[in-house]
Structure 1
């Protein structure tokens, strides 16, 4: 398990560092509690350039998205769900919007499991998720 830098607060000059599953849950719960689809960015605290996991949470609809970039996916990959939205979903990160593929949304519990797996594996791409090129 590694400590993670979490970026989600547009007014924060520094990341919120979490080093326990409970700490990660607290950050995910905070972002999920905001209205609309929002994103928290997760980086390895001791090596922030190694891998990134963006975790999009839309608690109102019970779904989210993932974006991963790391040694085995340097160009980045996004989650791939089974449903295709009429319009590509847009998730917000510190005031900026990011459009995802129309089939990128997956169940919220899978998004949370992926965030925890990223933490416990030291930044490896989460398994159990279907991925597609960005």
Structure 2
């Protein structure tokens, strides 16, 4: 799916929210950023949605791995989002309200692929990257 507008972002989030449990996360790349010499993107932006709890996560990888920072403290608790049927675990502290997820995705895409400033970030724990 190619996303051109804020409406396209909303449609993608709505799709993830209404989809099956095995499809609650998407990976996004900005075409406005240069590719690495290998031909691969120099960044990655993940978005996960939990419709039932009206929350989600965002992850930004650009040299370092960052996760959104929510209001809950992790205390070792993790939440699971699914990308093409594959589970990915994240600390519960990464969950933010769904409207903020939408805003962060729009900012990422409309800023040319920069890390959104509309949310707080935390460095992603190594165990969450390895999941």
Q: TM-score range by the shorter chain?
A: 0.7 to 0.9
Gap runs ≥5 in structure 1: 1-15
Give the deviation of 1:85 after TM superposition.
5.6
Aligned residues: 116
Which structure 1 residue ranges, 4+ long, deviate > 2 Å from structure 2? 45-48, 84-87
In the alignment, the residues of structure 2 paired with residue 65 and residue 90 of structure 1 have an alpha-carbon distance, to the nearest angstrom, of 10
Q: Which residue of 1 aligns with 2:115?
A: 125
The CA deviation string for residues 25-57 of structure 1, in whole angstroms up to 9 with x for no partner, is 212211111244711111013546132210110
Structure showing the higher strand proportion among its residues: 1
Structure showing the higher helix proportion among its residues: 2
Gap runs ≥5 in structure 2: 35-39, 125-131
The CA deviation string for residues 67-107 of structure 1, in whole angstroms up to 9 with x for no partner, is 1012xxx1211111111367300110011111111311110
Q: Is this contact kept in 2: 1:65–1:105, CA < 8 A? A: yes
Q: Is this contact kept in 1: 2:103–2:118, CA < 8 A? A: no
From 51, 59, 63, give the equivalent of 1:59.
51
How large is the Cα RMSD of the aligned pairs? Answer: 1.8
Alpha-carbon distance change, 102 to 43 in structure 1, aligned in 2, over 3 angstroms? same
TM-score (norm 1): 0.78
Structure-to-structure mapping, 1:3-22, within 5 angstroms:
16-22=1-7
TM-score (norm 2): 0.80
Structure-to-structure mapping, 1:15-54, within 5 angstroms:
16-36=1-21, 38-45=24-31, 47=34, 49-54=41-46
- Does the alignment pair 1:110 with 2:100? yes
Give the deviation of 1:122 after TM superposition.
0.5
